[in-house]
Amino acid sequence: MKTVKSREAVLEEVFDAVSRAVTPLPQEADAEKEFALKQISRLESVLGEDGTRIYFIGSAARDTGLAGDRDIDLFVAYPTRFERDYIVERTKRAIAAVLPGKWEMHYAEHPYFQAVIEGFKVEIIPCFHAVPNSPIKSAVDRSPLHMDYLQKRLSVGQKRDVRVLKLLLKRAGVYGAEASIGGFSGLLCEYLVLNYRSLYGLILASASWRPPVVVDIEAIYPNASPLEVSCRFSGAPLVVVDAIDATRNAAAAVSSYSLAVFSSLSSAILVSKNPAAFFEPHPFVQLLPSKAKLLLKKRGTSVELLQVPIPANLVEDVYHPQVRKAAESLASALQRAGFRLVGWNYRVVDGKALLLFESFDGMLPKLRVVQGPPVWFGAQVEKFVSAHARGVVRGPFIVGERVAVELLQDNVSLAEELSRLCSSEEISFGANLGPAFRRVSAADAFSGAGLELLSIYLSKKSFWFSSK
């Protein structure tokens, strides 16, 4: 007799297999903790006075990290009576005294120290003692409270679910709270699994989410509608009320795109015939140059590639946001100029960044509609109208509440406009990339890294829409 397994049982089996692959081995986890405790005891030998306490915090400490992550976060919490400058200086001196290594000082909202020691990426963050739902001196002060809250509540099974969830989100490109991703942070993953009891519970719920979605673990806003709670948090599409700070949205970084991806992904995995595929990488298929050319011809659009060398000493955390920012700025500038973009993408390989832009229009129209200021700003309107006293082919007239004129412009191609932008000061190219962007010739676009980026771009697809 054949037994039909429930969907939950099918998924649990997949989660289990995934978990075996992503969970650090016991000896790996033990070594990590042992290493962390050793650093702590050294620091305590010089810092353990005046009520200062050192915490080992983060996914490594809570067993919610993925195998291969070698991040150790140590928080040195000082009494609030100290000044910020003082605790930074004191932490610095303590590190110098007892933790030999190549330490660098970084600045987030708060300064912190970073070094790679015995293969671990160690971060030591000075902060102040904090109490739940009381004012804090700095965002990092919350971390020990989060650690305390989650460590007390997450079961072993839920910790496994957090690890599996992280891989699921990574594969769909929505893991990480950094601006370039706008996705789900590790802490958020833990809150979500805790709230919905399990990954399966979370997936079941998120498949029928409609924003604004409010997750209020501690029932801090019991009588407010989701819309009301979302309004309190600047209209965020997903609000996860921070259990240790009722005024903070632990999901503030999640864009409506990331939320849509996760909800759509959840719907799909619930009916997929091959749920394991959701955890596999989705490598792109490289197109033949002739195939790529044919596809572009069929699309009837214009595609241009730019490239810029990445200085060898830069780490990904530094150059990646800069490359993304440059691509975004160029895309906006092209749209402002009048090109209708189909899309854009970028990729960093072999010490250089490649940027791709696809436009419906190869050339700008001859006619250009220039929107001026709203009529309410009389002086600006006057300036606009006299600045366009010559060369106007139609207007000035009012469109909506703004003054506008129509001008003629030279025929400008997408390639010309990109070349111009590369040597203009309109674009913020990021501190380390500078004005070194160059157009990629057609020949180079259809080989090597150019062809790879084209292949990725032309086969863009949310994989879960077809993996039933």
| Other residues' Cβ atoms within 10 Å of the Cβ of residue 393 | 11
Residues 258 and 23: their CA atoms lie apart, in Å, by 25
Q: Where are the beta strands (DSSP E) in 204-269?
A: 213-215, 238-242, 245-249
Residues 378 and 257: their CA atoms lie apart, in Å, by 39
Q: Tell me how far, at minimum, the Cβ of 212 lies from a copy of itself, in Å.
A: 11
Question: If we measure between CA atoms, which residue out of 16, 283, 278 comes closest to residue 171?
Answer: 278
Q: Which stretch binds a copy of itself (CB under 8 A): 49-57, 228-236, 400-408, 427-435?
A: 400-408
Tell me: does residue 301 bind a copy of itself (CB under 8 A): yes
**Helix locations, 114-178, DSSP H:** 143-153, 156-171
Write out the two tokens for 423. 């040597």
Rounded CA Rg of the chain? 27
Residues 323 and 301: their CA atoms lie apart, in Å, by 24
SS (H, E, C) 305-330: EEEEECCCCCCHHHHHHHHHHHHHHH
Q: By the 8 A CB rule, do 181 and 258 touch?
A: yes
The DSSP H or E segment spanning 408 is strand 402-408
Tell me: does residue 152 bind a copy of itself (CB under 8 A): no
DSSP secondary structure string for all residues of 422-452: HTSSSS---TTTTT--EEPPHHHHTSHHHHH
Q: Tell me how far, at minimum, the Cβ of 395 lies from a copy of itself, in Å.
A: 6
Q: Tell me how far, at minimum, the Cβ of 443 lies from a copy of itself, in Å.
A: 24
Count, residues near a copy of itself per rule CB under 8 A: 52
Q: By the 8 A CB rule, do 263 and 207 touch?
A: yes
Residues 399 and 397: their CA atoms lie apart, in Å, by 7
Tell me: does residue 283 bind a copy of itself (CB under 8 A): no
Q: Tell me how far, at minimum, the Cβ of 328 lies from a copy of itself, in Å.
A: 15
**357 strand-pairing partners:** 304, 344
Question: If we measure between CA atoms, which residue out of 423, 387, 418 comes closest to residue 403?
Answer: 387
Question: If we measure between CA atoms, which residue out of 408, 394, 395, 336 comes closest to residue 366?
Answer: 408
Q: Which stretch binds a copy of itself (CB under 8 A): 44-52, 87-95, 282-290, 366-374?
A: 366-374
Q: By the 8 A CB rule, do 385 and 375 touch?
A: no
Q: By the 8 A CB rule, do 123 and 113 touch?
A: yes
Tell me: does residue 267 bind a copy of itself (CB under 8 A): yes
Site string for a copy of itself, 235-264 (x = CB under 8 A): --x------------------xx-xxx-xx
| Of 93 and 366, CB closest to a copy of itself | 366
> Which listed residue (48, 157, 226, 396) binds a copy of itself by CB under 8 A?
396
Tell me: does residue 394 bind a copy of itself (CB under 8 A): yes
Tell me: does residue 86 bind a copy of itself (CB under 8 A): no
> Which listed residue (395, 416, 455, 467) binds a copy of itself by CB under 8 A?
395
| Of 49 and 410, CB closest to a copy of itself | 410
Q: By the 8 A CB rule, do 168 and 278 touch?
A: yes
> Which listed residue (345, 413, 462, 467) binds a copy of itself by CB under 8 A?
462
| Of 44 and 328, CB closest to a copy of itself | 328
Residues 76 and 56: their CA atoms lie apart, in Å, by 9
Answer positive or negative: Cα dihedral of 159, 160, 163, 165: negative
| Of 48 and 343, CB closest to a copy of itself | 343
Residues 436 and 314: their CA atoms lie apart, in Å, by 15
Tell me: does residue 366 bind a copy of itself (CB under 8 A): yes
> Which listed residue (102, 152, 273, 298) binds a copy of itself by CB under 8 A?
298
DSSP state of 221: S
Tell me: does residue 367 bind a copy of itself (CB under 8 A): yes
> Which listed residue (3, 6, 27, 208) binds a copy of itself by CB under 8 A?
208
Q: Which stretch binds a copy of itself (CB under 8 A): 129-137, 220-228, 445-453, 455-463?
A: 455-463
| Of 132 and 226, CB closest to a copy of itself | 226
Q: Which amino acid is at 295?
A: L
Q: Which stretch binds a copy of itself (CB under 8 A): 38-46, 148-156, 246-254, 392-400?
A: 392-400
Tell me: does residue 291 bind a copy of itself (CB under 8 A): no
| Of 318 and 404, CB closest to a copy of itself | 404
Tell me: does residue 216 bind a copy of itself (CB under 8 A): no
Q: Tell me how far, at minimum, the Cβ of 331 lies from a copy of itself, in Å.
A: 14
Q: Which stretch binds a copy of itself (CB under 8 A): 128-136, 163-171, 304-312, 399-407?
A: 399-407
Distinct helix (H) and strand (E) counts, the chain: 16, 15
Site for a copy of itself in 325-364 (CB under 8 A): 340, 342, 360
Q: Tell me how far, at minimum, the Cβ of 35 lies from a copy of itself, in Å.
A: 41
Tell me: does residue 134 bind a copy of itself (CB under 8 A): no
Residues forming the site for a copy of itself (CB under 8 A):
207-211, 237, 256-257, 259-261, 263-264, 267, 295, 298-301, 340, 342, 360, 365-367, 369, 374-376, 378, 381, 385, 393-403, 406, 408, 458-462, 465-466
